[in-house]
Structure 1
Amino acid sequence: MSTTTAIPVTNRPARRSGQARTAYLLVWIFLLANAVILQIMFADPSRPANNTLTAIGRFFGLYLGFTLVVQLLLIGRVPFLERRIGMDKLTNWHRWTGFAIFWLVVLHPTFVLLGYSELDRISFFAEIPNLAKQMPVLLGMIAAALIGLMALTSVRMARRRMSYEAWHATHLVVYVMIVLAVIHQIYEGSSIASSSVTQAYWWALWAFAIGSLLVNRLFVPMVRNARHQLRVVAVVPETDTAVSVYVGGRQLDRMRARPGQFFWWRFPGHASWWQVNPWSLSAAPDGRTLRLTAKAIGSTSAGLRDLPVGTKVYAEGPYGALTTAARTRDNTLLIAGGIGITPIRALLEDPDLTGDVVVLYRARTPADAVLAGELRNLVQARGARLHLLTGRTTDGNQPFSPESLRGLVPDIAERDVYLCGPGAMATTVQRSLRALRVPARQRHIEAFRLGV
């Protein structure tokens, strides 16, 4: 499906607003302020530990509880963070926070068990069933086992062997784990219960995290979907493996979606309720329809080709910081890999994308270049330049090496660089951009990474 679109180019350059800096600053203030409060709670003399080992266990337990709160906020899809920091960075934070939780889960019970085994004068392993007789402790142990399961499925080798749908279903147990962890803290959190002030702080913190999750992932999407009544209005195959889905509804202009953003999409009645995928808009929103284009990778994306017209659509969003609001320079370089062309193609329709524009599109073969016809028309209408980079990556074909990028775009350090593509490609490009001294504020990246 190829169309020629006239791009209304404005004369006002879009400049970085400073919203991202504000978001980073608030995140650091939140983390540092809570770290200070946790240290005060740990040092409270009114709740002395039984011995040094249990004191260390309590220390790790406090930070484990707080890290769980942070993880809950990260999976809560807080629009303030999604739109200013971006999905790519938040997914990285989610991943590293998950590994921090795993090690805290190892350290917290280990030191508690060592401390009580010393007090009870029994072995470490004998202390495990001894403490497990207490229901709150047993629930904590179950929560720890669930965290271990999620950590195993997050290891790179395991992720590669699992479909996105299977990985996502496994990580739904995070909600069970959180319930068990909260119950465990209610009954076993001695530092938390040291005073009414610490209790109020701790449960206000959890209320904030759980409230953010419920509001952003349940209540707001329910209200928006009830208002917009989204339905599939057309399904258009683009290649043998890619398909575009056009979604219509009421008052879509009130969604305030921007080119470069994405939604989390569900198709109730066509796929299981828990199957949700983040797909970018592949065309600029026009107030009448939204379009997503997906490649058949998992079972949900492969099934899009068979969606009946009229199928109900449930969407969460819009999210993402890959928009012209992040621009800092007049000229722009857009880089896409595979199906990552979708937000890049939408950005080409954004009237705020002014100045000289260069597009680098990486595809295995020309036939694999999804939306290539539309892309050429948009580039021609805008007076931009398109480089289609094909072929297998070999020693002689390194399209994203510093030398190749400089050869294609000599003034790359003077441009904003937008990138959407697979994680490995994003890592390579970022390494080259650093070597070419492209400032971090000019790099705007969304990579394909697993997220919940």
Structure 2
Amino acid sequence: MTAVAPRTPARRAPAPHRFVDPTVRDRRERAAGRSRRKDTLEAAAWLAGVGGVSFMLASGSVDVTSVAGLLITLGRIAGIAASTMIMAQLILIARIPLVEQAIGHDRAARVHSQLGRIGFLVIIAHIVLLIAGYAMPTQTGLLAQTWDFVVGWGGPMFMASVGFVVLCAVVITSYAIVRSRWRYENWHAVHVFSYVAVGLSIPHQLTDGESFMSMGVAWWYWVVLWTVAVGGLLAYRVVRPLARFLRHDIRVAAVGTLPDGSTVVAMHGRRLRKLGARGGQFLLFRFLQAGMWGQAHPYSLSRTVRDGWMRITVKPLGDGSSALRTLKPGTRVMVEGPLGIFTDESRSGDHLVLAGAGVGITPVLALLEAADIRPGGCTVIVRAHSEAEIPHLDEFRELAAARGAALHVLVGRRGDGWAPAAFPTRLAQLVPSIAGADVYACGPQPWVDAVLDDAAAAGVPDERRHAEEFAW
């Protein structure tokens, strides 16, 4: 027999090492960090409600042996769920930097609104279940039991009842069919009363709620949750704006009008970089001039902030934006923010596409100025009916040339997509490497949707498609 030497398996050639730009790697790590923070915040909201229900179950006051007891138990669970939703709403709208940077102002406002509608239904379930549960064993009528809740239980329960009536008015005016017929200022004035409704409802949870009235660990748990929610709102919606008002001394420096009709407001102040505003973000501006001081409106920065100067450019589309033309130099300004994640910090791709139309053109200009780009690494698309309607077009051209960005000025009547009817085009035609890019679109919502749909069709994943909604 002939001996056969064992066969040595052939070695595979090592896979070629793929070079990843350190800058791109850093962007991807930041994006992953934001995703983790968002998941953590969502988990914390769920755990807060679960903790409340757990304390209720551990209190020993739960009765599910009768129909009345089951209704009361379900009513108490509904109350805890509704309160948790309200806490989450307050935190989402408090403009806390940690929340804003993880979720973004647009998404936070949208979830805030959704929770408000769902929470209102849960509050109704809480009230109906408790009234039915308490009325059943005593054979008390529903109306009589309701009256006993409002009057017989004393001050905190009466305050909660008044708060519920106020909340009903707020919810009704929040629906789109009503908001579409209201001026923003009128709707906002009514919406402020939602905070009054919340304030009126908190005491009865701590004095009449069986889960938390014992002044034990559960009571302190609930107090801490409400302190975080209300404290965050007061700290970032009241205290911080007042502190910045005193610290930065922002005043109107000059007001001008562009050929397209946009109003340019330049402001000066002290150490304005300390505001932390990035290109692409917006702030809420309250101009302390007669007839305007009671309103705060969101306006995007149209250039990056300098230490002593910042600028907004606003199209006169409503009463508030049209009134900016009447601003007088020297008028003091109070700001909230910066808000939004429509910034270079949200990128994770190796190319940057900036698309702006209408009111969304100016934040694109600021983002072009601030973005970390290399020559050839950015494509800018500006869309309008005519060049005369594009604010700061000369600045776009100067910045694009200085930064090595490709600028496409697309004018003409709109066609079926986002491009002019006379020059139909796709993002993949303007940007051959579009699948590896981040696409930022800002402007009227139908136009933004068309741009992002085109980007999705070209292979741009969801996490690299960015939009800034202009909605309230």
Q: Which of residues 280, 290, 313 is equivalent to 1:260?
A: 280
| Pairing 1:167–2:187 present | yes
The answer for the alignment partner of 1:297 in structure 2 is 317
How far apart are the structure 2 equivalents of 1:204 and 1:400?
Answer: 55
Is the contact made by 2:445 and 2:469 (CA closer than 8 Å) also made in structure 1?
A: yes
Match of 1:328, SS state, is: coil
How far apart are the structure 2 equivalents of 1:387 and 1:125?
Answer: 67
CA distance change for structure 1 residues 65 and 320 in 2, over 3 Å: closer, same or farther?
A: same
What is the letter of the counterpart of residue 98 of structure 1? G
Q: Which of residues 15, 18, 32 is equivalent to 2:27?
A: 15
TM score, norm. by length of structure 2:
0.85
How far apart are the structure 2 equivalents of 1:132 and 1:20?
Answer: 45
CA distance change for structure 1 residues 214 and 359 in 2, over 3 Å: closer, same or farther?
A: same
How far apart are the structure 2 equivalents of 1:371 and 1:446?
Answer: 20
How far apart are the structure 2 equivalents of 1:397 and 1:424?
Answer: 9
Is the contact made by 1:15 and 1:327 (CA closer than 8 Å) also made in structure 2?
A: yes
TM score, norm. by length of structure 1:
0.89
Match of 2:71, SS state, is: helix
The answer for the alignment partner of 2:47 in structure 1 is 33
| Pairing 1:129–2:147 present | yes
The answer for the alignment partner of 1:4 in structure 2 is none
How far apart are the structure 1 equivalents of 2:78 and 2:262?
Answer: 48
Is the contact made by 1:333 and 1:357 (CA closer than 8 Å) also made in structure 2?
A: yes
What is the letter of the counterpart of residue 378 of structure 1? L
Could you say what the CA RMSD is over the residues aligned between the two structures, in angstroms? 2.6
CA-to-partner distance for each residue in 1:100-134, whole Å, 9 max, x for gaps? 22211221112112212323324434433332224
Structure 2: gaps of 5 or more residues: 1-21
Q: CA deviation at 1:432?
A: 4.2
CA distance change for structure 1 residues 130 and 432 in 2, over 3 Å: closer, same or farther?
A: farther
The answer for the alignment partner of 2:342 in structure 1 is 322
Q: CA deviation at 1:191?
A: 1.4
The answer for the alignment partner of 2:79 in structure 1 is 61
| Pairing 1:445–2:463 present | no
State percent identity of aligned pairs: 33
What is the letter of the counterpart of residue 448 of structure 1? F
How far apart are the structure 2 equivalents of 1:80 and 1:281?
Answer: 21
Match of 1:314, SS state, is: strand
The answer for the alignment partner of 2:17 in structure 1 is none
How far apart are the structure 1 equivalents of 2:323 and 2:349?
Answer: 40
Identify the range of structure 1 (202-211 vs 107-116) with the bigger mean alpha-carbon deviation. 107-116
What is the letter of the counterpart of residue 142 of structure 2? F
Q: Which of residues 429, 439, 445 is equivalent to 1:417?
A: 439
Match of 2:336, SS state, is: strand
Q: Which of residues 407, 418, 439 is equivalent to 1:386?
A: 407
CA-to-partner distance for each residue in 1:284-338, whole Å, 9 max, x for gaps? 1122201111122232211111100110011122222222122212211112231
Is the contact made by 1:46 and 1:194 (CA closer than 8 Å) also made in structure 2?
A: no
Is the contact made by 1:417 and 1:443 (CA closer than 8 Å) also made in structure 2?
A: yes
Written as runs of structure 1 = structure 2, the 5 A alignment for 1:141-180 is: 141-180=161-200
Q: CA deviation at 1:149?
A: 2.2
Match of 2:62, SS state, is: coil
How far apart are the structure 2 equivalents of 1:66 and 1:174?
Answer: 15
Structure 1: gaps of 5 or more residues: 1-10
- Work out which structure has the larger RCO, using CA pairs closer than 8 Å and 6 or more positions apart in sequence: 1
Is the contact made by 1:422 and 1:449 (CA closer than 8 Å) also made in structure 2?
A: no
> Between Structure 1 and Structure 2, whose CA radius of gyration is higher?
2
Match of 1:70, SS state, is: helix
Written as runs of structure 1 = structure 2, the 5 A alignment for 1:101-140 is: 101-133=119-151, 134=153, 135-140=155-160
How far apart are the structure 2 equivalents of 1:54 and 1:157?
Answer: 35
How far apart are the structure 2 equivalents of 1:42 and 1:226?
Answer: 46
Is the contact made by 2:49 and 2:80 (CA closer than 8 Å) also made in structure 1?
A: no
CA distance change for structure 1 residues 150 and 243 in 2, over 3 Å: closer, same or farther?
A: same
What is the letter of the counterpart of residue 386 of structure 1? L
| Pairing 1:404–2:426 present | yes
How far apart are the structure 2 equivalents of 1:364 and 1:183?
Answer: 56
Count how many residue pairs are aligned between Structure 1 and Structure 2: 439
Q: Which of residues 36, 56, 67 is equivalent to 1:42?
A: 56
